[in-house]
Amino acid sequence: MGRLIFVLLAAATMICTAAQNGQAQGGGPVGGMIRVLRIDPSTPTTLYAGTDSGGVFKSTNRGASWTAINSGLPTIPTINDLIVDPTNGSTIYVSIWNSGVFKTVDGGANWTEINQGCPYPSVHTLAIDPSRSATLYRSALQGGGCKSTNGGASWTEIGGPSGDIHSLVIDPTAPSTMYAGTEHGVFKSTNQGASWTAINAGIPSSWKNETQWAVGVSALTIDPSNPRTLYIGTEKGGVLKSINGGENWIPVNLGITKVTVSALAISPRTSSTVYVGTSDNFGFGAGSGVFKSTDGGKTWESVEGFTDVGVTSLAIDPVEGKIIYGATLGRGIVKSTDDGKTWEAANAGLTANLLTSLAIDPANPDTVYAGTFNGGIFKSNNGGITWSHFIKRQCVTSLAFDPSKSGVLYIGILNTLLKSINGDTGLVVVKTFSDFTVEGIVIDPSMPRTLYINAGRMGIFKSIDGGDNWTHIYSIIDRVGIQSLAIDSSNPARLYAGTGLLPSLATNEDTEGVGVLRSTDKGLGWVVVKGNLTPIEVGALAIDPSTSGTLYAATFGEGVLKSSDGGARWTAMNNGLTNLYIKALAIDPSNPGTLYAGTQGGGVFKTTNGGAIWKPTGF
The Cα–Cα gap between 137 and 82 comes to 12
For residue range 45-83, list pLDDT tens digits in order: 999 999 998 999 999 999 999 999 999 999 889 999 999
Q: Which amino acid is at 612?
A: A
pLDDT of residue 510: 44
pLDDT at 170 over 50: yes
* Residue 401 · residue 357 · CB < 8 Å: no
What 3-state DSSP class applies to 583?
strand
pLDDT of residue 379: 95
Distance separating the N- and C-terminal Cα atoms of the chain: 29
Residue 281 DSSP symbol: T
* Residue 37 · residue 48 · CB < 8 Å: yes
The Cα–Cα gap between 384 and 380 comes to 5
- The proportion of the chain whose per-residue pLDDT surpasses 70, expressed as a percent, equals 88
Query: For the chain, which residues make up each domain, given as ranges?
Result: 353-616
What 3-state DSSP class applies to 229?
coil
Query: Which of the given ranges, 103-107, 182-186, 394-398, has the highest pLDDT on average?
Result: 103-107
Q: How far is CA 281 from CA 81, 122, 220, in A?
A: 19, 21, 18
pLDDT at 456 over 70: yes
pLDDT of residue 324: 96
The Cα–Cα gap between 145 and 166 comes to 12
Question: What radius of gyration do the chain's Cα atoms show?
Answer: 25
pLDDT at 16 over 50: no
The Cα–Cα gap between 609 and 552 comes to 13
For residue range 113-155, list pLDDT tens digits in order: 999 999 988 888 999 999 999 999 999 877 789 999 999 999 9
Mean pLDDT of 569-587: 95
**Average pLDDT in the chain:** 88
The Cα–Cα gap between 76 and 204 comes to 41
- The proportion of the chain whose per-residue pLDDT surpasses 90, expressed as a percent, equals 68
The Cα–Cα gap between 505 and 397 comes to 23
At residue 378's C-alpha, the angle toward residues 414 and 429, to 5°, is: 40
What 3-state DSSP class applies to 12?
helix
Fold of 353-616: Methylamine Dehydrogenase; Chain H (2.130.10)
Compute, in degrees rounded to 10, the torsion defined by CA atoms 468, 474, 477, 479: 0
- The three state secondary structure string of 378-421 is EEECCCCCCCEEEECCCCEEEEEECCCCCCEEEEEECCEEEEEE
The Cα–Cα gap between 272 and 380 comes to 45
The Cα–Cα gap between 198 and 213 comes to 10
What 3-state DSSP class applies to 67?
strand
Tell me the whole-structure pTM to 2 decimals: 0.89
What 3-state DSSP class applies to 444?
coil
For residue range 501-513, list pLDDT tens digits in order: 654 443 444 444 5
